[in-house]
Amino acid sequence: MDPFVVLVLCLSCLLLLSLWRQSSARGKLPPGPTPLPIIGNILQVDVKDISKSLSNFSKVYGPVFTVYFGQKPVVVLHGYEAVKEALIDMGEEFSGRGILAVAERANKGHGIVSSNGKTWKDIRRFSLMTLRNFGMGKRSIEDRVQEEARCLVEELRKTKSSPCDPTFILSCAPCNVICSIIFQNRFDYKDQNFLNLLERLNENVRILSSTWLQVCDNFPPLIDYLPGTHNTLLKNIAYTKSYVLEKVKEHQESLDINNPRDYIDCFLIKMEQEKHNQHSGFTIENLVCSVSDLFGAGTETTSTTVRYGLLLLLKYPEVTAKVQEEIGRVVGRHRSPCMQDRSRMPYTDAVVHEIQRYINLLPTNLPHAVTCDIKFRNYYIPKGTTIFTSLSSVLHDEKEFPNPKVFDPGHFLDESGNFKKSDYFMPFSAGKRICLGESLARMELFLFLTTILQNFNLKSLVDPKDLDTTPVANGFASVPPSYQICFNPV
């Protein structure tokens, strides 16, 4: 036989075999677009706008469907009903973390974001308690956020009303709040240690959200051949960890068990209490990874939201004026805004909610995984399957929020101007994996935005009508287009 014919026959057999293997696994999983061998549905997914692609699929396959990223099946949940049924009603089963292969290599399942099982439960519970102010010394979290808000305003004053891109200054503030909680004190915005930390963090977020990485993640062997980025990522993580480790040693030397100063002190005390427990999750390794997780999860998310929020306030001066009127009436000029003010500021509260709803920061959430074999709406989903939940489909639901693509604080107000809650408000996700920093983040958003508007009038260089506020989708996060703004002292 002609060698060419033999080759073609062999290839066809391989192809059929692989199709058959995929379709037999597919039989039980929810339906979805037919995957190609090896590359799955990757050609049908726009990696720059995954959320939109998934929303397109849902129109054909319904609210529960399967997409193959390479060989890996991902079950996608689209729309409030399916997302709520999974994350809330079956919270325990859907509480696993499905994590990027690169993150897996860096953290090896330590810490909070990428851990699972008992370690995750123990450290998460402990961190929540600590962030909620149980026994972190004399200074409250709110106190620390207020201090940072005042420093932020001083830093913005230094721009002397000249136009600037606020990205850098706005990323300092949330990073510094975490520093204050973890290391006891904030840093000066020019402190070299602080700038190093911030820079490596920013670089990692850039690498992690690059299209390349999203694609390569489905083909783990490729990661090792990705020029540079993978190594840079690991190098940056190693740098951050060694800095944290150094700080941990300083803390160990000056620890007073009756007087914890910050998160590290609380963790060290917990380690001491659990030292006879062989299976304790409270180890130095987990301490260092948890601290990096708090930085990684708490800096860019909050700063992007504030930066996007200011862009929206520039675009809608009538909204800004109403917020400033409310600040003037409730807070005045002579003291800092505090969290107690929020219940008396329904309009401002609605604006902050609408910012988060509109910008839809993490459209497909972080990936989850099911912790055991389960039956979901008559489909069988095996243990460990990766789950994407479309927060975008919830935050931009047309019935709950008429004209979801329009920025309108009215989405969170009733007829008499009172704040109106919504179960569809899920920018922090829902259920057992819900953002650990939710209350801290909401405190930062409220206090940073109100303190800025108490002290400055915002001015745009171009006519507000010409400002573009459509997100620049990048992999798994929505970021605002870059813009210039002037902070004019009031």
Ligand X SMILES: *[C@@H]1O[C@H](CO)[C@@H](O)[C@H](O)[C@H]1NC(C)=O
List residues near ligand X by CB under 6 A: 46, 49, 52-53, 56
Contacted entry of ligand HEM, ligand X, none for residue 49, CB cut-off 5 to 8 Å set by kind: ligand X
* Interface with ligand HEM (CB under 6 A), residue from 67, 266, 331, 435: 435
Measured from the CB atom, is 209 or 484 closer to ligand X? Answer: 209
Measured from the CB atom, is 97 or 411 closer to ligand HEM? Answer: 97
The CB-of-438 to ligand HEM minimum distance in angstroms stands at 7
Measured from the CB atom, is 36 or 128 closer to ligand X? Answer: 36
Contacted entry of ligand HEM, ligand X, none for residue 52, CB cut-off 5 to 8 Å set by kind: ligand X
- Only one of the segments 272-280, 312-320, 333-341, 425-433 lies at the binding site for ligand HEM (rule: CB under 6 A); that segment is 425-433
The CB-of-480 to ligand X minimum distance in angstroms stands at 20
The CB-of-236 to ligand HEM minimum distance in angstroms stands at 18
**HEC secondary structure over the chain:** CCHHHHHHHHHHHHHHHHHHHHHHHHCCCCCCCCCECCCECHHHCCHHHHHHHHHHHHHHHCCEEEEEECCEEEEEEECHHHHHHHHHHCCCCCCEECCCHHHHHHHCCCCCCCCCHHHHHHHHHHHHHHHCCCCCCCCCHHHHHHHHHHHHHHHHHCCCCCCECCHHHHHHHHHHHHHHHHHCCCCCCCCHHHHHHHHHHHHHHHHHCCHHHHHHCCCHHHHCCCCCHHHHHHHHHHHHHHHHHHHHHHHHHHCCCCCCCCHHHHHHHHHHHCCCCCCCCCCHHHHHHHHHHHHHHHCHHHHHHHHHHHHHHHHCHHHHHHHHHHHHHHCCCCCCCCHHHHHHCHHHHHHHHHHHHHHCCCCCCCCEECCCCEEECCEEECCCCEEEEEHHHHHCCCCCCCCCCCCCHHHHECCCCCECCCCCCCCCCCHHHCCCCHHHHHHHHHHHHHHHHHHEEEEECCCHHHCCCCCEEECCEEECCCCCEEEEEC
- Nearest position to ligand HEM, beta carbon: 437
Measured from the CB atom, is 53 or 304 closer to ligand X? Answer: 53
Contacted entry of ligand X, ligand HEM, none for residue 103, CB cut-off 5 to 8 Å set by kind: none
Give, as ranges, the residues between 334 and 373 that touch ligand HEM (CB under 6 A): 361-362, 365-366
Which residues, including other chains, have CB under 8 Å from residue 428's CB and lie 6 or more apart?
Answer: 434, 435, 438, 441
Position 148 contacts ligand HEM (CB under 6 A): no
CA angle, 133 as apex, 199 and 84 as ends, to 5°? 80
Position 302 contacts ligand HEM (CB under 6 A): yes
Measured from the CB atom, is 216 or 359 closer to ligand HEM? Answer: 359
Binding mask 26-65 for ligand HEM (x = CB under 6 A): ----------------------------------------
The CB-of-203 to ligand HEM minimum distance in angstroms stands at 19
Contacted entry of ligand X, ligand HEM, none for residue 229, CB cut-off 5 to 8 Å set by kind: none
Position 152 contacts ligand HEM (CB under 6 A): no
Measured from the CB atom, is 237 or 294 closer to ligand HEM? Answer: 294
The CB-of-46 to ligand X minimum distance in angstroms stands at 4
Binding mask 116-145 for ligand HEM (x = CB under 6 A): --------x---------------------
Q: How many residues bind ligand HEM (CB under 6 A)?
A: 25
Q: Give me the residues that bind ligand HEM (CB under 6 A), please.
A: 97, 112-113, 124, 293-294, 297-298, 301-302, 305, 361-362, 365-366, 427-429, 433-437, 440-441
